[in-house]
Structure 1
């Protein structure tokens, strides 16, 4: 049977082995494995981050278009969705831009001389610090200004050229209006489509619309 001093020596040796830590070789191997794992994860994380930025802008764009459409129906009046590079402000006309990073919704006169509220701008938004890295491209170029009628459908408005509006005209589209949202490094660029009947939807341009890919673009 071990005495007190012998048991104490055994315990010290055991603790010394446990507290030994890593050797230099073990540490080098651990760091190498960690570096390899990080290098494997970083590309996928960067792609995910870029795709998230694209989706944020596409969703903001889609929500703005739907808000303009809802305002037209609620007010029983034509409204316009405007893309602009300027900062929207009440009672201020902002020039349109197909690659603008800001947007706003404005009520339109239906006929020349009609009197509207003193502040026809009803809502505005911005893509914030995601622009200009995330690019929005409107097609056709005139889609920087889109008009909805009281039924929520796309409509031409020749009176949009009055001084209280934008200095340009809502033209009658001949097909879908599209807004392509892209970012270098993003693997899933998105598109926001507005149909002639007013349908607004977002789709993935890397996929073709089908029963197996409902999020694809037509």
Structure 2
């Protein structure tokens, strides 16, 4: 007597149903994943700027000399100060047009040909749409040997930098834009302008820079 063998597995119809379900799930998840990626780029760009400012302040204290942080168009030989970055340079002297000079740890006095580049960043962390914006078109913060903003530059110093993307890339309601605040005392912190209800929240952007340029 022959026994019938029952084959197990998926039929073509069942496989097609699974593929359709997976396709629906993927289409629903794609917008959320894209939003997450964009907001991740905003945070990465903000953390890069924050790192550059903290480095400039720390180097000023270590060297007991003024050190500059400046937003730049790029880090090539044709670099120029630009309030929308996304590149930045930490140096002892003016680095415009000299951003490609090799970094140096020297403590000598900077010259017109050698600004003594300490560090530079081309802004590659950000996507092409990410905006790094110094308020009031400002590009420069100079820290003195005590880690404060150099008094002679306070009136024109960067006090606020916003990092965001255009609303054409991500609606404002979905964007987790961030802000870097620099007080005249040299304190640098990242905050979240979307936090407005609780002033005790550590992410709240307080009025520490009252009287200076503000992000709006």
TM-score of the two chains, using structure 2 as the length reference:
0.74
Equivalent pair of 2:83/2:133 in contact (CA under 8 Å): yes
**Partner SS for 1:193:** strand
- 1:126-145 to structure 2, matched below 5 A, reads 126-128=122-124, 130-142=126-138, 144-145=139-140
Instruction: Work out the number of aligned pairs and report it.
Output: 184
| Inter-CA distance 100–73: structure 2 relative to 1 (3 Å threshold) | same
Give the helix-richer structure, 1 or 2. Answer: 1
Equivalent pair of 2:75/2:89 in contact (CA under 8 Å): no
Unaligned 5+ segments in structure 2 are: 95-107, 207-216
CA distances 1:139-198 after superposition (whole Å, capped 9, x unpaired): 1322x11111111111244xxxxxxxxxxxx45259x81111112326201111111111
1:32 aligned to 2:20? yes
CA RMSD across the alignment: 2.6
Unaligned 5+ segments in structure 1 are: 1-5, 110-114, 158-169
- 1:92-111 to structure 2, matched below 5 A, reads 94-108=79-93
Moved over 6 A (4+): none
TM-score of the two chains, using structure 1 as the length reference:
0.74
Q: Which residue does 2:49 correspond to in 1?
A: 61
**Partner SS for 2:155:** coil
1:116 aligned to 2:116? no
Over alpha carbons, which structure has the higher Rg?
1
Alpha-carbon distance between aligned partners in 1 of 2:70 and 2:18, rounded to the nearest angstrom: 55
| Inter-CA distance 86–29: structure 2 relative to 1 (3 Å threshold) | closer
